[in-house]
Amino acid sequence: MRGRLRALVVPVLAAAAVAGYLLAGGLGLLVVCVFGYLTTLVAVRRRLPAPLARRPRPPKPQQGMANAGFPAYRRMQSMLAWSEQSPRHFDGAVRPTLQRLTADRLAERRGIDLAAEPDRAQEVLGVEVWPLVDPSRPRSTDSTSPGVPLDRVGRLVSRLEEL
């Protein structure tokens, strides 16, 4: 069957190409050749087997998202990552949260108001970590110096846990 079809199609296309050339010149030949090419593509495509049904892909694991159910934790993790970039990043992202946590912990455990009694708060927290939460320290605009190392933030958090 295939051989007979080819034996029929090839002379018909050749005759059409000659007729197209005689009637319209190079443009006629081009039109007939493009039509023959597209017809051949359609015929070949019909003879190919149907594509296999696609299996659903498993969802891609999201890197760094093992805590997807804890958006607040993810925000805190991202915020802490920025703390080491510069003093401006620390003061804009991490410091306000640390100040709120410190104020709550000092009020709850020691009855100290961070804003009203900064000297007592400094005495309880220690000189090393006090600058991290000092409410009187102005917000930094320095984006070029290194920020606050995470181990220093960790020492403040440890100190708050000890209270």
Q: pLDDT tens digits, residue range 92-131?
A: 889 999 999 999 999 999 999 999 999 999 999 999 999 9
pLDDT of residue 66: 60
Overall average pLDDT of the 63-90 stretch: 77
pLDDT, mean over the chain: 84
149 Cβ contact list (under 8 Å, min separation 6): 84
Is pTM, for the whole model, over 0.95?
no
Among residues of the chain, what percentage have pLDDT more than 90? 36
**Residue 156 near residue 129 (C-beta atoms within 8 A):** yes
Predicted pLDDT of residue 64:
55
61: pLDDT strictly greater than 70: no
What does the domain layout of the chain look like in residue ranges?
A: 2-47, 71-162
Q: Is a pLDDT exceeding 90 seen at residue 74?
A: no
Q: What is the pLDDT of residue 65?
A: 56
Q: Is the pLDDT of residue 55 over 70?
A: no
